[in-house]
Structures are given as C-alpha cells and as structure tokens.
Chains A and B, each alone.
Chain A
Amino acid sequence: MIDIENVSKWYGDFQVLKDCTSQVTQKEVVVVCGPSGSGKSTLIKCVNGLEPVQQGRIVVDGADITAKGTDLTALRARIGMVFQHFELYPHMTVRENLCLAQEKVLKRSRDEAVSRAELFLDRVGLSEHIDKHPGQLSGGQQQRVAIARSLVMDPIVMLFDEPTSALDPEMINEVLDVMVELAKEGMTMMVVTHEMGFAKKVADRVIFMDEGAIVEDRSTEDFFGNPESDRAKDFLSKILNH
C-alpha cells in the first residue's frame, strides 16, 4: 500500500531523512517511534507529499508521490491524515469541517456529505456536537472530529502524526480508543506516536527512527521483546519505566 524506497531529505545542509526504506501493506498497522527530532514526523509528511523529498521514491497505492506530474490533490483526497494540533478549521462548525472536502474535492452532494458526516461523527461519539465550532470542544473531542473528518473521505490509508501529543492525559484514551477501533476494522494505518501501550496493543510492526535513519523495522513482539540496537534499548528503557 505504501512503499518508501531509499528516501533522503535535506533542510539546507541538514539531512533530516537518511536513506529510509520501509513499506506498509494493506490492513497493516505500523507505529513509527523514536526520540524527538529523529525525523518520524517528517517521514510521515512525505508519504502524502506535504513535504517534498530530494532522493528516493514513495509509492502509495500504485501512484508515485515523488514523481513529477502525479496528481497529488487527487491522491491526497484518498489518504487520511490526522495532525498533532488537530487543525480543524476554526471558522466552521463541526458539520462544515466534515463536509468541506467531501463537497469541494469529492464533489458529493450536500445531502450525501451531511449524512456521511453524521454517520462518522456518531462513530466517534460526538453526534450532539455537530453544530458547535471547534473552539467549543475539548482537545480530545477536537481530535476525534479530526479523525472523522478524514474518515468521511473513505481513505485507503490513515496517517497519524503524533495524534495524542497535544492532549491532556485524561483525553488521550478517548482518541486511542477510536484508533484501536479503526485498526480492528482493518484500516491501513501509519502512526507516529510515543504511546507504546497503543503500539503493543494494535501495531503489527514498529519502525524505530533515530537521527533521520530507520534503525529498527520489525514486528511489534520482536521490537519490545528483543530490540537489536542499543539506541532502541535505551529509548525503550526510558519510555517504559514510567
């Protein structure tokens, strides 16, 4: 579903991604973790072309994101993305947030867009908030709306960029619960997160990054039970002892 081949990326002289290669197959849930500044967020933003890469190739569902002439807008409409800071449109109600891309990008009718918005809002348990503005919702609620906003587009894959990092601790679980549900339903997911509990519970594979390189790329069991690199061992000892 997602093929990342020898991807390198620079910001000026600084290399943020170093020859990264990995893939996500259909219905697979892959967690990307690593210390701050390791390039994991950058990597996931390259997958839908929000960040350009200077070297290598990324292919999503047969379409080459990195090739010139690829219709990125059409492809992006089929790739869901959830951001750390939600990025709901603050001047629109929840309903409009969920309908905008359906109507303007997918050209769905208003009625169809609204009925799908209601359906997915119900799935994340926020039906009664459809007429509110994002500012009237808690962080956890906003993130669930953001997930619904991506799901209404019928994405072939969902990308999550630290979806719980900006949340108060008591709101993290309501978002993770929605994500666990999604994973169980067979959604293909690539998740950048520090939530190792989530990774253990639903991830099929874990990618561990450090200083722009993929250091480990292994099954979840192997990664937690028997990490190979010292860097991963060190990371896990710090993150799991709390």
Chain B
Amino acid sequence: MNYNWNWSVLVTEPYLDWLISGFYWTISVALVAWIFAFSIGCLVGIGRTLPNKFIAGACTCYVELFRNVPLLVQMFLWYFAMPEALPEEWGRWVKRDMPNPEFVTAVIALSLYTASRVAEQVRAGIEAVPKGLAAAAKAHGHGVAQTYRYILLPISLRMVVPPMTSEFLTVFKNSSLALTIGLLELTAQSQQIAEYTFRGFEAFTAATVIYVLIALVATVAM
C-alpha cells in the first residue's frame, strides 16, 4: 500500500483537542448510560421473575420492546419523534431549552436499550438458582423480599458478572451511534479530523486504539 502515514496530525492542534473531547463524551455517555441501564435492568430482570403476574408481564413487555428495535432506530425515535409526541410546551422545551440535548437523548436511548439486555441476564441468573433454595427460604418464613435480598440476588449476581462485563463493554461501543444524532463523541471527532485533514487512516486508527484501550481497562476493572 502506497500511503504516506502522517501521525503528527493526531498531536496537532486543534485535532488533539478534538480527540480528547471525543474521548470525554464517549466515556461520559457510556458511564452514565451504564449506571441507568444497570439499575433499570436489575429492577426489570427481578420483575420478570416475581410471582406477581402483572409486574412480570409489564417487565416482559419492556424487554421485548426495547430489545427488538434496533438501537439506531431508537436513537432517532428519541431524538426526532419524541419531542413531537410530547405536549406542545414540553416538546418546545426539549427542542429549544433542554441543556445538552444530544447527550441527554443518547443516554436515554442507550440506557433503555442496554437495560433490556441487562434485565435478561439478571433474569437468567435468578432462574439459574436452584428452585429448592427459594423453597427453603420460604419454608423458614422468609417473605419474597427477604428471599431475593438474602438468597436469590447474592447468588445470581455473582453468576452474571461475566456476561455483564460483555454488556458493559458493549455500551462503550454502542455509544458511537450517538454520532448520528450529532453528539461529537470519539467516532464523530475522528470522522471530523479525517474530513479536515484527509488523514482518515490515522484518525480512525487512533479511535480504534482508544476504544480497545477503554475496553481493556474496563475488563480489568470488572
């Protein structure tokens, strides 16, 4: 391949700043989305296993809805369709006055989508706990809440740590879709650098390396 690599663009102003800013937004969106996704996902996953048919049914609907619509479509729906569907004043506020609209929308879309996947893993973990343990807890007088708190959750959450790590990494990678609604995260900034400098290989190599480093650090941290 006849290509003159020029890595220096990556450390030239303003492109270095763009990369750093992109890195910052990627981390921000992914971490905030993960906090919501994990919390909502745990609640929904637990909800699907509860004896209450109404709660279990509602949680199943949530999972099937958010898991089965492509994330990109969900991003567009939250960003373009949702403000129109709101009452007029709210819609105007979302479109005109809401701070950081791209960031907020990306976090909402990413966390609700990821929550449906977290929920399935939490449910699988709870269902993998031998049935007899819940029966034993019941037989000793523990109610549903205590059975989850002391028996089912401590055992199942340990089991779901490995699949949950994959999900955590996926949030960072999926956050790149936020570029479609205008959030200048890492991928968007790389694209911008490529357009300004015609150094696409360098720019996307930098993005690739940063994504891999984030993933490796996250894996070690989990």
Contact = CB atoms under 8 A, between A and B. Distances in A.
Question: Does chain A bind chain B?
Answer: yes
Interface of A: 48, 50, 73-74, 76-79, 81, 83, 85, 87-91, 100-101, 104-106, 149-150, 153
Contacts, number: 60
B141 interface: yes
B153 to A, nearest CB: 10
Given A79-B139, A87-B132, A89-B136, 8 more contacts: A48-B139, A76-B139, A78-B141, A81-B139, A81-B140, A87-B136, A88-B136, A104-B142
Interface string B139-161: 11111001000110011001000
A158 to B, nearest CB: 11
Contact of A77 (B130, B132, B141): B141
B143 A73 contact: yes
B140 A105 contact: yes
A150 B132 CA distance: 15
Contact of B132 (A73, A85, A105): A85
Contacts of B135: 50, 83, 87
A240 to B, nearest CB: 30
Given A89-B151, A90-B155, A104-B146, A77 B136 contact: no
A73 B137 CA distance: 10
A91 B158 contact: yes
Contacts of A89: 133, 136-137, 150-151, 155
Nearest to B141: A77
Contacts of B143: 73
A33 B143 CA distance: 31
Contacts of B133: 87, 89-90
A155 B121 CA distance: 38
B95 interface: no
Nearest to B149: A104
A104 B143 CA distance: 10
A83 B136 contact: yes
B138 interface: yes
6 contacts: A76-B140, A87-B130, A87-B133, A89-B137, A100-B142, A101-B142
B154 A91 contact: yes
A21 to B, nearest CB: 23
Contacts of A76: 138-141
Nearest to B151: A89
Given A87-B133, A89-B151, A153 B139 contact: no
A150 B140 contact: yes
A81 B136 CA distance: 8
A150 B138 CA distance: 12
Contacts of A90: 133, 155
Contacts of A83: 132, 135-136, 139
Given A77-B140, A105-B140, A150-B140, A100 B150 contact: yes
A193 B143 CA distance: 28
Nearest to B140: A101
B117 to A, nearest CB: 25
Contacts of A100: 140, 142, 150
A101 B132 contact: no
B139 A104 contact: no
B132 A153 contact: no
Most buried by A among B132, B139, B143, B154: B139
A153 B137 CA distance: 13
